[in-house]
Structures are given as structure tokens and as C-alpha cells.
Amino acid sequence: MARRIRTAKSLGQRHDFHYFKRWTSWRLWRALIGIGIPLIAVVWLMGMAARRNNVPYSSGPMASVHAVFGKQCGTCHQPQVTAGLVKLGFRKHVEDSACLTCHQAPAHQINQTFTPKCGSCHIEHVGSPHLERTADQTCTQCHADLKLKNGTSHYVKAVLGFNSQHPEFAPLRAEFKDPGTIKLNHSIHMRAGLKGPNMESVQLECMDCHRFTADINRPWKYGDAKVMPASMTAPGSEHELRGGEIHPGEGRAYMAAPTYERNCVACHKLQFDRDITEPVPHGKQPAELHSLIVNQLQSYIAQHRAAVSQPILPIGGRIPRGPEPVIARNAEEWVTLRAAIDEQLLWRKTCAECHTLRAAANTAATQVSFPEVPKANIKPIWLPNSVFSHYSHISIDCKSCHSKSSNSQETSDILIPSIKTCQSCHNGKPEKVGQAENGCFLCHQYHQWQNQEPIKGKYSIPQLTSSLDTRNNKLSR
């Protein structure tokens, strides 16, 4: 058998060097896909551009609060290039001026060294229904190492998050002092078997003294409508003008400060004389009450002449200047003696149960020295630099957060919850079971909303709600 000789030339002739000129089915499909899809995309984009539809260029779904703008990107985004009357493209980032057209958001602090862009904190086109829910990083970019243009910071300089290097609440720090002047022993008032208005045994609850501001006009178990100020009972409030509550949490963020007329009058009557049942009005200074007391005693002795010859005894039989009873020589002296004793008991015992009276100069009219009652100064909001709502925590027992209230005996005790109490629930993200959200935005506001100025709107309803074609036509006229 003859041996076949293989050479490079003979082997090379076995290959088809013209394969690339032949159209196979696989090559045909690749060409159709490579040319057809881009061509379809170009035609689609040109059709959307002809219809002035900006959806293909959108970064994602808008927040529900901005849904009214629809496809009108130009409401917020400024045009990138203008060719005649045609706007070609929009700037990627929205300028602050566009946001401030609708949101008059005051600056955070005039002494801050860095002011972030609106869009860097409130990120649009991610479908979030709440743009105010900013990430902690937007706050800690400054507060992790807080610096000011000048001066010293009044706040902690390094805060990384609510559960990470957050300071204790300011009122619970050692240097804070309660400005209130009212004497109140929570331990006594929360004790079981307390004597009530009619000497019956009662058990006070937190809501007997502490209520939401929206509920202060409702009946109180231990209040007296007859002695409540007119501002508490008179109609015409915003709540009543609207015929009821619009939102269940409206007026229920904070508790109204307790008052004598709402909370104390049933058990702590301001009776000044054993024979006169009408109490003195609360809220007046002793110098003002003197003439009322004298008038009451004069009216009484005018109707009970025989009382002049009877020994003068104060309530409970206690006479400050001696054990012997005093007998007046006439009605005028009876009023003077009786008023002196009644007022001593009123100032030193009745008023002193809740107030620390301070000495005052003699009055020009009577040359008699009357003490003064300092203002109560009850703090309605203990954390003024944060946002809090009792209504959001309405399902929690009051004493579960205010755990020190049952044993508090001193007026100076500050009974707000500690940060550890809040962290026991607010310790993570809402998607995790058993953890409540703990973002900075829950308790703190960046903008100084108290400095907000009125906004003059510039858009009409058709400009905001009509299609982009109709809107541009109206604007070009």
C-alpha cells in the first residue's frame, strides 16, 4: 500500500478561506439582533421625543407627593440645552431654587460650615412615599465631627446615631435644673387609698392630671367648670370651628400642663375661714386676695352680728399668736382680727402646700407685708430640640416609660424617660421583627421651621396637571 504524503500546502487547502462571505442562519440572526434592536430603540426614543414624553429618561418612580407633576420633568429639572423652542434633555441634579419654589425651607443653623443640597438628603425617583425620611448619613456627615464657623458648639460634637454614641437627653444630665416652682409629691398622689373630694377612697390615674392638649375642654373627674378660666371653656377654638378632629393625632403630641382648676380644685379647696364656704380664687397674689377676704368677712359679720362677741378661732382651732381665744370689741376689730388669722393660715398652710412663697415689700395702701407667689413655670416640652408625640405611644402604659413617677417624692425629680428606655424599642430598622425604626429624622428636624416665611405660588392648576404638550403651548403664548 502506497504511503500518502501530507504537506502543509495540502493540509491548508482543506480549509475554506471564504467562509465569512457565506450567510449562515446563525450569522443572519446575529445581524438582525445587533442592528434591529438598536434601530427599534432609536425609533422608540424618537417617537417618545416627538410626543414630548420624558419617561425613557426618568431615573425611576417619583414619590407620591410629587406625583401631580406626572411627566413634566421641567417643573423641577432645568433644561440642559435649548435649541430654538425645543428643550433637549434636563440637568441630572435639581437645583435648590426649584425645591424652594414650593418648600420655603429655612437653613439649619446660620453658623454651620456646610449646607447640603436639597436633593442630596431628599432623594427623588426611588419611589419613596416619604421624602423627609432621610438617611442617618446625611446628618452624621456633619454631626459625627461637628464644626462651626465661629464660637463653641452648644451640642455634643460627635453623634453617630441613636444607638451609637448618642448622649443622654439634656434634662437628665447633671447640669440641668427644673425651672418649675410647684411642690408635688407623685408618690403620695399615686398611692392607693387616697382620700378623695368627699373623703372617699380613690386611686388616681395618670390621665386624671395629664391629658392631651386636644382634650383639655372635656370633663375632668376632679375639675370644676365653674372656676375654670374662660379660655378653657369658651367655644371658638380651631378644633371646635371645624366641628371635630380632622386627624386623630391632632393636638395629642404633648400633654397639657396641669392646672389647679382642672386637676386640684376637687381635693384642695382654698377655703380661708370656717364660717365662709366660698373659697378665694386661685391665681391671684396675696395682696390682691386681702381685699376679697376683708369684703367676705364684712358681709358675713353684717348678717351675723352676734358673732362679734364670740371668741375668734381659726380653722382647726389653731391661733398663731397664742392659745387663748380673742374677743373683738366691735365688728371692725372682728374683721381685722379674723382676717389676720385667716390670712396667716392661708399663706403659711394652704398656699404653702404647693407654693414656696417669698417675702414682698409692704403695700402702700395698707402698709402690711404680703408674700408673693412665684410663677409655676411648668415645662410643657422637655425636649425642645426634638420632635415627639405621645399619641404614637398611646398603647404603652404611662408608668412603663415614666418608671420613676411612682416613687418620686421631690419636686425637682425629672421624670421623662431616659434614652435607654427609648432604645429598648427603637433599636433597629422596621423591617426587622421586634425592632422599631431609629433614624435621626424621627426625632430631629434639620430645617428651622419657626423661621419659615410665606410662599407665593407661581403655578396654576393647568400648569401642574395638564400634559406636557398642553403646558408648553400655554407657557409659550
Greater model confidence, 410 or 435: 410
281 domain-assigned: no
pLDDT in tens, 202-226: 899 999 999 998 888 888 888 776 6
189 domain-assigned: no
**What kind and span of H or E run contains 138?**
helix 136-143
Total count of domains within the chain = 2
Least confidently predicted of 137-146, 184-193, 364-373: 364-373
pLDDT in tens, 453-465: 888 888 888 877 7
Q: Please say which residue of 77, 98, 119 terminates a domain.
A: 98
pLDDT in tens, 43-72: 888 887 777 666 676 677 888 888 888 777
93 domain-assigned: yes
**Amino acid present at 173:** R
Q: Which single residue is written with the C-alpha cell 373630694?
A: 197
- Whether the pTM exceeds 0.95: the reply is no
> What is the chain's mean pLDDT, rounded?
82
Count of CB atoms within 10 A of residue 212's CB?
A: 19
Query: Three-state SS across 262-318?
Result: HHHCCCCCCCCECCECCCCCCCCCHHHHHHHHHHHHHHHHHHCHHHHHCCECCHHHC
Label residue 422 by pLDDT band (50, 70, 90): very high
Q: Which single residue is written with the C-alpha cell 398663731?
A: 320
Where helices occur in 51-103 by DSSP H, the ranges are 96-100
Q: Please say which residue of 308, 328, 353 terminates a domain.
A: 353
Residue 296 has what pLDDT? Answer: 94
Structural domain boundaries, residue 327: 286-353
363 domain-assigned: no
Q: Which single residue is written with the C-alpha cell 366641628?
A: 243
- Residues 374-396, mean pLDDT to the nearest whole number: 91
- Concatenate the DSSP letters of all residues of 220-257 into one string: -TT--TTTS-HHHH-S--HHHHTTS-SSTTTT-SSBPP
Count of CB atoms within 10 A of residue 435's CB?
A: 13
76 domain-assigned: yes
pLDDT in tens, 146-205: 988 888 888 888 999 998 889 999 999 877 778 889 998 999 999 988 888 888 888 999
Q: Which range in 72-81, 167-176, 359-368 is most confidently predicted, on average pLDDT?
A: 167-176
Q: Please say which residue of 73, 98, 123 terminates a domain.
A: 98
220 domain-assigned: no
364 pLDDT more than 60: no
347 domain-assigned: yes
